[in-house]
């Protein structure tokens, strides 16, 4: 059954293991992980069609769209990780239940963009480059 996106929570910690993650506040949208794998061409000169193997997958990126709130504990933690260039861990909690579905990964904060305009809010985009595998759990 399809799930609605309302109620999704994103957690971040500036360590890859053993610490409590903090919710990033004011998220209004997200995209990713954008998982992909590159094919490896192993075609020999005697082949009549391309022959391929699949390379390892790349977790890609996760982008969070936020209402920029510089005092939010989660957004502050993300900025700290970006400035320090430290690997952290992210969890996308896909529903509000205690045993709900989750997507977890390690990565680096690789971008932070802030925008604003007349008659509009101050918004931001946080980009996380995934390092290593991704786990989906319930």
Instruction: Give the CATH number of the domain where residue 127 resides.
Output: 2.30.110
Tell me if 4 is assigned to some domain: no
Q: What is the pLDDT of residue 7?
A: 80
Tell me if 2 is assigned to some domain: no
Tell me if 61 is assigned to some domain: yes
Average pLDDT over residues 75-93: 94
Total domains in the fold of the chain: 1
Q: What is the pLDDT of residue 99?
A: 67
Tell me if 35 is assigned to some domain: yes
Rg for the chain, CA atoms, rounded: 18
Q: Which domain holds residue 37?
A: 9-137
Which of 132, 125, 129, 112 minimizes the C-alpha distance to 28? 125
pLDDT digits (tens, 9 = 90+) for 18-74: 678 899 999 999 999 999 999 999 999 999 999 999 999 999 999 999 999 999 999
Average pLDDT over residues 95-106: 80
Q: What is the pLDDT of residue 98?
A: 62
Q: How far is it, in rounded angstroms, from Cα 100 to Cα 129?
A: 24
Which of 39, 70, 42 minimizes the C-alpha distance to 54? 39
Does residue 82 register a pLDDT over 80? yes
Contact residues for 97 (Cβ-Cβ < 8 A; gap 6+): none
Q: What is the pLDDT of residue 4?
A: 75
DSSP string, 67-109: E--TT-HHHHHHHHHHHHT--EEEEEE-SSSTT--EEEEEEEE
Q: Global pTM?
A: 0.86
pLDDT digits (tens, 9 = 90+) for 105-124: 999 999 999 999 999 999 99
Average pLDDT over residues 68-94: 94
């Amino acid at each position: 059954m399809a799930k609605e996106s309302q109620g999704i929570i994103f957690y971040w910690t500036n360590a890859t293991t053993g610490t409590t993650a903090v919710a990033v506040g004011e998220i209004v949208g997200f995209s990713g992980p954008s998982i992909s794998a590159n094919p490896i061409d192993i075609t020999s000169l005697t082949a009549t069609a391309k022959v391929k193997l699949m390379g390892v997958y790349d977790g890609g990126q996760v982008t969070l769209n936020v209402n920029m709130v510089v005092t939010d504990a989660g957004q502050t933690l993300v900025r700290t990780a970006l400035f320090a260039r430290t690997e952290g861990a992210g969890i996308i909690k896909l529903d509000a239940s205690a045993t709900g579905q989750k997507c977890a990964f390690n990565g680096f904060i690789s971008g932070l963009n802030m925008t604003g305009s007349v008659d509009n809010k101050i918004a931001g985009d946080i980009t996380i480059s995934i390092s290593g595998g991704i786990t989906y759990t319930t």
